[in-house]
Structure 1
Amino acid sequence: MVVLKFRRVIILKSDNEEIFKLIEEVSNYEDIKISDIPCVDLYMDQVTTFFDEKLKNLKRDKEEKILTKTMINNYAKAKLLLPVKGKKYSKEQMVLLALIYNLKQTLSINDTGLVLSPIIKKLTSSKESEIVEEIYNTFVEINKLQMEEFNQWFKNKIELVNEKSSLIESNDEDLVQHILTVLMLTSSANMQKRMAEKIIDDYFKLVKEE
């Protein structure tokens, strides 16, 4: 039997309902809050299930896994996590895993390690262990504000893309708009990635050498 797959056609107009649907889909998630993390230590299976459930809206498809045992073991080998005690993961390790998940979407494992290394050192000190939760809570607040700003930013960029694409003579205006939109988004993401890497090179690498 032949199964026909119909693609979803999105017309990118700044005043189009599809734009609002796209933005809603992208922003339809909440970062894991500290209060969401159980106070009791969790086994590996419980950890992967927790992240899979809490961040399920970030999956591109149902088969995708947010975190796997292999990923977590690799993070441990790279010393991105505190040593596991009794095969259970503490609340501090869960916070680190949440930070790792966010960082690894853009950065390499090595760069992620450079960013988290100072935090891990502070976790070993009972006097400074609370700063990790404070950093994470602040990150969640900033991320929420960024998402709100992104909504208007994206609409403005679509207007720019539509304006510029109208100058291109083509029989497939939608194709041109979609290509330019993806190029615009990836260019913006690349600039932000390079800025993050520059900060890592100019600050975190020096911190490691001290």
Structure 2
Amino acid sequence: MDELLDLKQRLEQERPTPWAELPDLALYMDQIISYMPRQLIHFDDGEVLTSAMVNNYFKDGLVPRADGKRYGPIHLGYLTAVCALKRVLSVRDMKVLVSAGEKREKPPEELYAYFLQALDRALNETAQSLPPQAAPEDLPRLALDLALRSYASQLACARILDILQPPCEEAPKKAKK
């Protein structure tokens, strides 16, 4: 089945641009929007990123503020991670993850390199789970297996993010008279 082979090859080969190869000149919003679809695998023509999304990510604290109206590698790195993670994590959960990464006090390029390594492992593991040949009647089982692996991973991820999040302070109780 050609489509499955194409999927496997894309999962094995397509990767976001490494930090050293990200454009180091300042980009405007429209350039960021047109650049981002090249960063991640997608199979439709839908918008990967809009200016409203970018502005919301700034507001939510997921991406550092721009220098004026110009964006550099740090913004591309954060936006690449957010665009990948938004498919599986809520904004709240992404904030927990971003905060945990920033607490490590590593430069953005190191955090981005770790993200790329983790993404590479996940894409390769998924590619390896795809059979080289599959009949059309095998596809529902394959889709179910992948969906359940995703479910199990999401459960584990949600629990780990809960553990990472500091406990909420209880409101002081009013003294009885």
The interval holding the TM-score normalised by the smaller chain is 0.7 to 0.9
Report if the CA contact (8 A) 2:16-2:38 is conserved: no
Match of 1:134 among 103, 110, 122: 110
Does the CA contact (< 8 Å) of 2:62 and 2:95 recur in 1?
Answer: yes
> How do 1:56-205 and structure 2 match up within 5 A?
58-61=41-44, 63-119=45-101, 128=105, 130=107, 132-155=108-131, 174-175=136-137, 177-203=138-164, 205=165
Deviations along 1:40-86, one digit per CA (max 9) or x if unpaired, are: 2221111111112344xx2222x322211111011112121222221
Q: 141-150 or 106-115: which moved more? A: 141-150
Q: Which has the higher contact order (CA 8 A, sep 6+)?
A: 2
Specify the alignment match of 1:50 in structure 2: 35
Segments of 5+ residues of structure 1 without an aligned counterpart are: 1-9, 11-16, 123-127, 163-172
Q: SS in structure 2 opposite 1:147?
A: helix
The gaps in structure 2 that reach 5 residues or longer are 170-177
Q: C-alpha root-mean-square deviation of aligned residues, in Å?
A: 2.8
Q: Across the two proteins, how many residue pairs are aligned to each other?
A: 169
Is the Cα–Cα contact under 8 Å of residues 82 and 93 in structure 1 kept in the other structure? yes
Consecutive aligned runs of 4 or more in structure 1 exceeding 6 Å deviation? none
- The question of whether the paired residues in 2 share the 8 Å contact of 1:82 and 1:120 is answered with no
Question: Partner amino acid for 2:157?
Answer: A
Q: Which residue of 2 aligns with 1:168?
A: none
| AA in 1 matched with 2:166 | L
Question: TM-score, normalization: structure 2?
Answer: 0.79
* TM-score, normalised via structure 1 length: 0.68
